[in-house]
Amino acid sequence: MLNGEFKSYWSETASYETIVPLINMGFDGLKSAVIEMLSGDEVKVNTATFKNDTVNIQNRDEVLTYMIHLGYLGYDQNRRSAFVPNEEIRQELTLAVREIVV
């Protein structure tokens, strides 16, 4: 701000390389859920199964919960659903999904 330069802070503090391995875990419906969120939808997620153990992630909900913890996804507690919270993250997730498709 002091230099009068305004730009996305997210793209310089995180990278899609962080989430590609998570999505590559290939849990049933995970990639589809990410694509669904990229289109603007929310997806149901059970956050109760995640035990803050990032080494032994075992299912789609644990990956999505971890992505919520990392700030890649927002969470609506009333609807128990995850969503892409802003455009900067949408761009990072789009790159991650493209990386997996290739």
- DSSP H helix total and E strand total for the chain: 4, 3
Is pLDDT of 63 > 80?
yes
- Band of the pLDDT at 102, cuts 50, 70, 90? very low
pLDDT 10s digits, 30-59: 989 999 999 999 999 999 989 888 888 999
pLDDT at 53: 86
Give the global pTM: 0.81
Backbone angles phi, psi at 2, to 5 degrees: -60, -30
DSSP state of 11: G
The mean pLDDT of 11-24, rounded to a whole number, is 69
Distance (Å) of CA 64 to CA 18, 31, 32, 42: 13, 10, 12, 12
